Amino acid sequence: MAMTHADSVFRALADPTRRQVFERIAAGETHVAALTAGLPISQPAVSQHLATLKGAGLVRERRKGRRVYYRAEPAGFDPLVAWMARAGAVWPERVERLKSVLERMDR
């Protein structure tokens, strides 16, 4: 359900290095070697992060020749957006405005 999807997205983005990997992918499709080049961690560590990001639905991979390319999954943030609607003040705020309208109608 939505709660489970949001959990894995939150966990995936909690790690600062993994978040950095994701941000680079979001900036443009790339591959493991290119990602590893700019980071102070090993390629296996990058691959592990990629597996976590993929598991959380944040990135998708495709094979091109001998390389695997990663790009951001457009729907990846959807569980976060849904969580924000649930946890945030969106509907409570609207209901407060409704109450004001109802009060004005009463006069």
Binding residues for other proteins, rule: CB under 8 A, are: 2, 5, 26-28, 57, 72-82, 85-86, 91-92, 94-95, 97-102, 105-106
Q: Which one, 4 or 40, has the nearer CB to other proteins? A: 4
Amino acid (1-letter code) at residue 55:
G
Shortest gap between Cβ of 99 and other proteins (angstroms)? 7
Degrees to nearest 5, angle at CA 35 with 23 and 50: 70
Q: Which one, 48 or 100, has the nearer CB to other proteins? A: 100
Shortest gap between Cβ of 53 and other proteins (angstroms)? 12
| CA dist., res. 93 & res. 18, Å (int) | 35
HEC string of 51-72? HHHHHCCCEEEEEECCEEEEEE
* Residue 96: its H or E element: helix 90-106
Q: Edge-to-edge strand order for the sheet containing 30-31?
A: 30-31, 67-72, 59-64
Q: Which one, 14 or 102, has the nearer CB to other proteins? A: 102
Shortest gap between Cβ of 66 and other proteins (angstroms)? 25
Q: Which one, 17 or 93, has the nearer CB to other proteins? A: 93
Shortest gap between Cβ of 97 and other proteins (angstroms)? 4
